[in-house]
Chain A
Amino acid sequence: MTRLWAASRLTYAALIAAGLLSIFPIYWMFVVASRSNDAMGQLPPPVTPGGNFGANVSRLLGNTDAYFVTGLINSAIVATTVTVSVVFFSTLAGFAFAKLRFRGRNALLMVIIATMMVPTQLGVIPLYMLMTKLNWNDRLPAVIVPALVTGFGVFMMRQYAGQAVSTELIEAARVDGCNTARIYWNVVLPALRPAAAVLGLLTFMTTWNDFLWPYAVLNDPENPTVQLALRTLSDGYYTDMSQVFTGTAIATLPLLLVFVLFGRQIIGGIMEGAVKA
């Protein structure tokens, strides 16, 4: 492969500008979160952090109407459960589609791809009615169970399993008397680990950020996800923006942490998926 074009200074300038534009709103969120409410009425708007973060956090945690801590705990439960489940079912089905032969495989794979194009959020009304019937309204299963599988996850794992899992190894394990479930656990899963990790990270972040469906089904203000707690704060406390911003900052912090630690892998996963799709 020949060399790429060299980047000019102008390229760097433009990229740095794009990067700053991307980071600024997040940075500014932390600026307001660390200041007092006076910052909201200052012109020019302050762009350096203040020393009020601790006070804002304790005011936020002491706010008994926001249920922010409950929201954090709920979101952690929901996102973790959904992530484990999506990774498990996706690797299982991805393995089957990539490496096992069965009647209807191609047609069923097409169905999976098609499901990614279906705007399922338009089904919220019957889903809400279903949850009422199951008596899951206002309770976490309502947001966990519908999210336990994704077509995207199955497809991503299928693409990766096609190249990462050795067919010879599977055949060898079969000759040694392994059944398919054991092959999955001992041969396939270890080989899928890198891609499964990326899927897990993406799933965790998407679930943590999810707003529309929790907004529809978790109407009890005492049992929100963290995003719903932000909604409560934003709707009710717009006179106390430093508290609201402290909430947004804390809700964003876990995501930033994941991204700083695993950003390289996440980018790799997104770009690899793009080429194959």
Chain B
Amino acid sequence: MTAQLDARPPVAPAPRTGRRPPGTRFSRLDTRFSPYLFIAPFFVLFAVFGVYPLIYTFWVSLHDWDLLGSDHPFVGLANYSQLLADADFWHAVVNTLGIFVISTVPQLLAALWLANLLNRQLRARTTFRMAVLIPNITSTAAVAIVFGVLFGREFGMINWLLDLVGVDAIEWKSNRFASWVAISAMVDWRWTGYNALIFLAAMQAIPRDLYEAAAIDGANRVRQFWSITVPLLKPTIIFTVIISTIGGLQLFTEPRLFHSGTNPIRGGTMRESQTVTMYMFENAFAPHYNFGYGSAVAWLLFALIAVVAAVNVLLLRRLGGAKPPKEDAKSKEGAR
């Protein structure tokens, strides 16, 4: 990426002027301003519909602001202090983090494993890749509805299968932890194959002779996977973790449509699986239309995403940095 940028001299107008048809003012204006004209639509639209709302959210959060009230007095950080004492908010935070952890960890491990399987001499390569990607292209709303039925209490297929192996019926919707598991299953179903393809792409860029050298040294496949593949995949793993963090902590559609009936925005009668984004919606839109309070929720969620993403990156860096020499010593020991 940088190689391409650096390949040309920085600014060299002198030799170029000779090539241009002489004297055409339009062409000089054209080369000078066209680039800006071409990139302007993105920046203008993103500023208006992306950046401005995000910043204005903070402004709104400092006010007592609802849909109907004609004036909205400045209240400082009152919304935030109310929110920090709001049990339902913290309940939603715990739900969100719980679902995030029990969905992301198995998902990325399964994706690594799946990528490792796909990175072999395979017949019907494309068919397998398409099969694991198909959940990702399906409508999230449709899938959430289907999973809601699969996890039904009495006639759901999951409970029926569990019954076959002697497990009692699980209350997938009214048991808090069970509903996290069901929603995580939905998220994992959608994203494991996608992440596997991302990992597969990175694995294909690893030189094969590294594995050959390791095999000569006596490392078996499992060891090769943990000592060569995983460390070299570290940048990709960090990338997928960041993306999963940003997406996972804003989870909305799956838990919203997992529940039906009255007031599904609460994520179950006892808010079993209400995520922070759902809580933001409940406050900012129907039924409360309290923009100020909802905006405070949005900003605290923003802060939460930043903190969790930073912690994840730091953890992964450290893990990856400490691991290779240790594994190396171990693998040598094991080989002899």
Contacts and interface: CB of A to CB of B under 8 A. Distances in A.
Contacts of B20: 174
B295 A154 contact: no
A221 B147 CA distance: 24
A216 B143 CA distance: 20
B139 A227 contact: yes
A216 B242 contact: no
B194 A105 contact: no
A22 B5 CA distance: 41
A11 B117 contact: yes
A11 B131 contact: no
Contact of B45 (A125, A127, A148): A148
Contacts, number: 307
A212 B260 contact: no
A196 interface: no
Nearest to A237: B260
B285 A216 contact: yes
Contacts of B32: 102
Nearest to A112: B42
A129 interface: yes
B268 interface: no
B160 A120 contact: no
Contact of B128 (A19, A40, A238, A259): A19
A19 B132 contact: yes
Contact of B135 (A22, A40, A105): A22
Give the interface centre of B138, B160, B236, B246 by most chain A CB atoms within 10 Å: B138
Which secondary structure dominates where chain B touches chain A? helix
Interface residues of B, number: 106
Interface string B301-314: 11001000000000
A231 B54 contact: no
B76 to A, nearest CB: 18
Contact of A126 (B35, B52, B260): B52
Given A7-B122, A25-B150, A32-B149, A93 B39 contact: yes
A78 interface: no
Nearest to B40: A93
B295 A2 contact: no
Interface in B134-160: 134-135, 137-143, 145-150, 155, 157, 160
B146 A28 contact: yes
A211 B143 CA distance: 12
Nearest to B19: A175
A25 B198 contact: no
Interface in B199-239: 200-202, 204-205, 208-209, 212, 221, 236, 239
A230 to B, nearest CB: 5
Nearest to B8: A101
A102 B261 contact: no
B27 interface: yes
A198 interface: no
B208 to A, nearest CB: 5
Contacts of B205: 275
Interface residues of A, number: 111
A277 B155 contact: no
B155 A212 contact: no
A44 B293 CA distance: 47
A143 to B, nearest CB: 11
B93 to A, nearest CB: 15
B114 interface: yes
Given A122-B54, A276-B1, A181 B34 contact: yes
Contacts of A73: none
B26 A212 contact: no
Contact of A5 (B221, B239, B242, B298): B221
Contacts of A64: none
B298 A122 contact: yes
A41 B152 CA distance: 11
B164 to A, nearest CB: 9
A127 B56 CA distance: 9
A259 to B, nearest CB: 5
Contacts of B134: 22-23, 26, 256, 259
B5 A106 contact: yes
B203 to A, nearest CB: 10
Nearest to A28: B146
A96 B26 CA distance: 18
B119 A4 contact: yes
B326 to A, nearest CB: 25
Given A106-B5, A119-B250, A274-B197, A2 B212 contact: yes
Contacts of A208: 139
Interface string B252-282: 1100110011001000000000000100110
A89 B298 CA distance: 29
List 10 A-B pairs, minimum CB-CB distance, nearest first.
Answer: A123-B53, A19-B131, A248-B142, A180-B34, A146-B49, A271-B201, A102-B35, A96-B38, A126-B56, A126-B53
17 contacts: A4-B208, A89-B41, A123-B53, A128-B284, A148-B41, A179-B30, A181-B34, A209-B140, A211-B141, A231-B141, A241-B149, A247-B142, A249-B142, A252-B138, A252-B139, A272-B201, A274-B198
Interface of A: 1-7, 11-12, 14-15, 18-19, 21-23, 25-26, 28-29, 32, 40-45, 89-90, 92-93, 95-98, 100-102, 105-106, 108, 111-112, 115, 117-130, 145-146, 148-149, 151, 154, 159, 162, 171, 174-175, 177, 179-181, 184, 205, 208-209, 211-212, 215-216, 219, 227, 230-231, 234-235, 238, 241, 244-245, 247-249, 251-252, 255-256, 258-259, 263-264, 266-267, 270-272, 274-277
